[in-house]
């Protein structure tokens, strides 16, 4: 069965993990700091702070920019629930906005309508790795004195008008979990320009302590520290950073291969009756997932058909405004709800062979070539 996604991990990562184990320093240390410097160089960012998950990155960024109880954060509903949990854990209110059908990113015009006196920030989701309309979004934010905290969990390596995602909003949060284009096993990062906020995040990621354990270890007064702010145990470990260092050296190769697969899919599916592909700006996108739109009444049937063929599928995602825990924040989102019933995720990962890509394509073409299916389409 072809999975929807799979990390590309090999002997190089194992060797680096072995070095960390041999060193005896497994937690926050010099490998983490080296990884952060490499990320700053790659992203062309003044400050990159690594953490243990992408969710922690979102939580820390919102917290560091002062988002708190009663504040509103505008966010698309079509995202992983982690985006919303990072808002609600602070006592803030997620205000769900609509998305557009072309690339499933947030609709800037709809965002404008949802700004109130309580709005503190906007959280765009770069869906599938495709950048949002950041110029339009930043314009709305600046007009209303709002922060832009980007959820770029899908978008490491993507660019917007030539600038790396990670250099546009007030803060950009990445995920390095097992299925992302760059994985640390688990991990995340926050990229930002504000040195004062970066210092706040540096303290908050390790329990509000004014200096990290590695620097305390090297100090003559290694036992001495001061807790100066509310903090969390969110720092990255040397083990995860070691994996990330190797992955970063290969990430552009990963991205090129995934772009090739997306181009093959787009060519094969571009004129397929009964299915719609997203609009891709492939030159500036580091693809995370490949998602198509199919008739909602046929989606489960298509998924089962592909399963028989040995092709796994997924759904990214169930809209959050219809989730039980977020029901109290529910708003009218007819476009999101309709698109949420139509989306289907197909396999996309670096190690897919050409034959495996062909299997996905041939299976989809076989399904949609059946005349009985075509007749059932709306």
Residues of the chain with pLDDT under 50: 377-378
- Give per-residue pLDDT as tens, 119-144: 999 999 999 999 999 999 999 999 99
- Give per-residue pLDDT as tens, 148-174: 999 999 999 999 999 999 999 999 999
92/120 Cα distance (integer angstroms): 9
CATH of 252-376, one of 3.40.50.720, 3.90.1150.10, 1.10.1020.10, 3.40.640.10: 3.90.1150.10
Give residues with Cβ within 8 angstroms of 297, minimum separation 6: 376
Q: Given this model, what pLDDT does residue 372 score?
A: 54
The residue ranges of every structural domain in the chain are: 11-247, 252-376
Q: Given this model, what pLDDT does residue 274 score?
A: 85
The pTM assigned to this predicted structure is 0.95
- Please tell me whether residue 371 adopts helix, strand or coil conformation: helix
Q: The domain 11-247: what is its CATH number? A: 3.40.640.10
Region label for 375, one of left (φ > 0), alpha (ψ between -120 and 50) or beta (otherwise): alpha
Helix-helix angle 54-64:81-88, to 10 degrees: 30
Q: What are the CA-CA distances from residue 47 to residues 21, 43, 205, 269, 344 (Å)?
A: 28, 10, 14, 41, 36
Q: Given this model, what pLDDT does residue 369 score?
A: 87
Q: Given this model, what pLDDT does residue 215 score?
A: 62
Q: Given this model, what pLDDT does residue 210 score?
A: 82
Q: For residues 63 and 90, is the Cβ–Cβ distance under 8 A?
A: yes
373/355 Cα distance (integer angstroms): 26
């Amino acid at each position: 069965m072809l999975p929807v996604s799979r990390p590309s991990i090999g002997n190089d990562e194992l060797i680096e993990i072995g070095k960390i184990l041999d060193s005896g320093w497994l937690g926050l240390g010099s490998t983490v700091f080296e990884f952060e410097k490499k990320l700053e160089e790659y992203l062309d960012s003044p400050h990159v702070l690594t953490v243990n998950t992408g969710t922690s990155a979102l939580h820390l960024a919102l917290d560091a920019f002062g988002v708190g109880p009663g504040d509103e954060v505008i966010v698309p509903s079509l995202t992983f629930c982690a985006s919303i949990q990072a808002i609600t854990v602070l006592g803030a209110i997620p205000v769900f906005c609509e998305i557009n059908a072309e690339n499933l990113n947030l609709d800037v015009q709809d965002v404008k309508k949802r700004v109130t006196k309580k709005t503190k920030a906007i959280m765009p989701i770069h869906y599938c790795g495709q950048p949002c309309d950041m110029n339009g979004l930043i314009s709305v934010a600046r007009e209303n004195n709002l922060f832009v905290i980007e959820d770029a969990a899908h978008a490491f390596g993507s660019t917007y008008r030539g600038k790396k995602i990670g250099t546009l909003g007030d803060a950009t949060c990445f995920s390095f979990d097992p299925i992302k284009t760059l994985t640390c096993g688990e991990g995340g990062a926050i990229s930002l320009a504000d040195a004062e906020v970066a210092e706040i995040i540096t303290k908050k990621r390790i329990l509000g302590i004014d200096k990290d354990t590695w620097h305390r270890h090297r100090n003559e007064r290694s036992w001495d520290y001061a807790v100066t702010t509310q903090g969390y145990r969110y720092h990255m470990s040397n083990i995860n950073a070691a994996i990330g260092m190797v992955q970063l050296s290969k990430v552009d190769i990963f991205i090129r291969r995934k772009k090739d697969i997306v181009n093959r899919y787009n060519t094969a599916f571009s004129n397929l009756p009964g299915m719609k592909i997203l609009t891709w700006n492939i030159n500036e996108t580091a693809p995370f997932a490949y998602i198509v739109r199919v008739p909602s009444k046929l989606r489960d049937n298509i998924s089962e058909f592909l399963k028989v063929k040995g092709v796994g599928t997924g759904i990214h995602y169930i809209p959050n405004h219809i989730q039980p825990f977020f029901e109290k924040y529910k708003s009218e989102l007819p476009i999101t709800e309709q698109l949420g019933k139509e989306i289907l995720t197909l396999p996309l990962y670096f190690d897919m062979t050409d034959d495996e890509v062909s299997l996905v394509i041939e299976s989809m073409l076989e399904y949609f070539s059946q005349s009985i299916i075509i007749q059932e389409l709306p």
